[in-house]
């Protein structure tokens, strides 16, 4: 079922964003030259202040290898970087919580690209809020069924807290002791199970550190989604700039062989 919805999503994205094009002379220029819509970056930059899970205390490391004029007379800059897979705006590959499921490099493009549905609960979200089946049903009552092959993005409003680590995570602690003190919204496990069994989405993203809420003890929403090869996008930015329906998402992670996730550059196209 997962592969079918991925194929459906890729076809829908192509048809909707590129328009009905004659087979002999497709014209995709409007998607890229600004005439058919606009692209929005949904990615937080990686740097010294990037937020990681509290147990990943090393954070993002950028080491200067070279910077300045060379003996040959030209300028040259080069850096090495180090990062845990799961920090900043990043991908959760299904294998992250589901043994035998897709690793980062094996997720097909159809599982990373598709029409977007933005479910906005920012007007009622609190630090322990769970996005429910009722929230999803309310979106469908207004907009129709969640798109087959689509990408569900949950807007809780927590993205506005990104520059304040304590407000974003709910704690100023670091290390293992911080985990029990985490407070931020997430997806209810029964809603995750409903999505996995009743709808044809290929990925779920959220503007918080985790698909599960901060106080989760069992990461049941992760398990329900990832067991069905539905990927996750965490710490997504700028969801307030997207309409609730009509946008399209391209989410391309670093292609780490055998990885359980990776840094993600995620963007959205909003047609005019």
Q: Where is average pLDDT lowest: 12-26, 127-141, 236-250?
A: 12-26
pTM for the whole thing? Answer: 0.92
How far is 14 from 269, CA to CA, in rounded Å? 12
The answer for residues whose C-beta is within 8 angstroms of residue 59's C-beta and 6 or more apart is 48, 50, 52, 83, 87
Task: Give the separation between CA 56 and CA 159, rounded to whole angstroms.
Answer: 20
Q: Report helix, strand or coil for 168.
A: helix
Question: Can you give the pLDDT at residue 1?
Answer: 59
Question: In this predicted structure, what is the pLDDT of residue 165?
Answer: 98
The confidence score (pLDDT) of residue 17 equals: 55
Query: Tens digits of per-residue pLDDT, 181-190?
Result: 999 999 999 9
CA dihedral 213, 215, 220, 225 (to 10 degrees): 20
pLDDT score of 140 more than 80: yes
Average confidence (pLDDT) over 150-178? 98
- Checking if the pLDDT of 16 tops 60, the result is no
Residue for token pair 């009552």 = 141
Q: Which of 96, 126, 143, 183 is catalytic?
A: 96
Given pLDDT bands bounded at 50, 70 and 90, which one contains residue 7? low
Average pLDDT on 143-156 reads: 98
Sign of CA dihedral 222, 4, 42, 187: negative
- Cα(269)–Cα(272) distance, integer angstroms: 9
- Written as six digits, the tokens of 86 are 């799961």
Each residue's pLDDT tens digit, 247-261: 999 999 999 999 999
Q: How confident is the model at residue 13 (pLDDT cuts 50, 70, 90)?
A: low
Look at residue 125 and give its three-state secondary structure.
coil
The topology (CATH level 3) of 2-54+85-271 is Glucose Oxidase; domain 1 (3.50.30)
Give strand pairing partners of 92.
232, 261
Closest CA to 159 of 89, 225, 230: 89
* 215-to-85, 177, 184 alpha-carbon distances in Å: 22, 13, 8
Q: What angle do CA 53, 56, 59 make, to 5 degrees?
A: 100
The average confidence (pLDDT) of the chain is 94
Let me know: does 54 contact 88? Beta carbons within 8 Å: no
Phi and psi angles of residue 197, each rounded to the nearest 5 degrees, phi first: -100, -25
Q: What is the pLDDT of residue 156?
A: 98
Tell me the torsion sign for CA atoms 131, 136, 142, 144. positive
Note the pLDDT of residue 20: 46
Give yes or no for residue 262 having a pLDDT over 60. yes
Q: What is the CA radius of gyration of the chain?
A: 19
Query: In the annotation, is 96 catalytic?
Result: yes
Backbone φ, ψ for residue 194 (5° rounding): -65, -45
61-71 average pLDDT score: 98
Q: Given a cut of 50, is residue 55 above it in pLDDT? A: yes
Averaged over 114-120, what is the pLDDT?
98
Higher pLDDT, 88 or 1: 88
For residue 255, the model assigns a pLDDT of: 98
Residue 247 to residue 272: CA distance in whole angstroms = 10
φ/ψ (deg, to 5) at 118: -105, 110
34 Cβ contact list (under 8 Å, min separation 6): none
Q: Give the start-to-end residue ranges of the domains of the chain.
A: 2-54+85-271
CA 242 to chain centre: 14
pLDDT in tens, 75-102: 999 999 999 999 999 999 999 999 999 9
């Amino acid at each position: 079922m997962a592969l079918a919805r991925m194929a459906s999503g890729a076809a829908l994205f192509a048809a909707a964003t590129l328009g009905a094009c004659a087979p002999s002379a497709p014209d995709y220029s409007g998607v890229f030259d600004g005439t058919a819509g606009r692209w929005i970056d949904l990615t937080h930059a990686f740097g010294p202040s990037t937020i990681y899970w509290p147990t990943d205390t090393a954070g993002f490391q950028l080491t200067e290898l070279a910077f300045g004029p060379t003996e040959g007379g030209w300028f040259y800059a080069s850096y090495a970087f180090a990062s845990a897979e799961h920090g900043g705006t990043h991908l959760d590959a299904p294998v992250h919580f589901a043994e035998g499921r897709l690793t980062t490099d094996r997720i097909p493009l159809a599982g990373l690209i598709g029409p977007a549905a933005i479910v906005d609960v920012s007007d009622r979200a609190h630090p322990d809020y769970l996005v429910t089946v009722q929230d999803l049903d309310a979106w469908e009552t207004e907009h129709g069924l969640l798109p087959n092959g689509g990408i569900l993005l949950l807007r809780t409003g927590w993205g506005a807290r990104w520059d304040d680590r304590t407000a974003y995570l709910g704690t100023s602690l670091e290390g293992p002791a911080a985990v029990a003190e985490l407070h931020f919204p997430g997806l209810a496990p029964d809603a995750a199970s409903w999505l996995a069994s009743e709808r044809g989405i290929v990925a779920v993203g959220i503007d918080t550190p985790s698909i599960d809420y901060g106080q989760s003890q069992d990461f049941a929403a992760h398990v329900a989604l990832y067991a069905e090869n539905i990927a996750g996008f965490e710490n997504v930015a700028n969801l307030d700039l997207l309409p609730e329906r009509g946008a399209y998402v391209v989410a391309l992670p670093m292609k780490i062989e055998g990885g359980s996730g990776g840094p993600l550059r995620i963007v959205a196209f909003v047609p005019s």
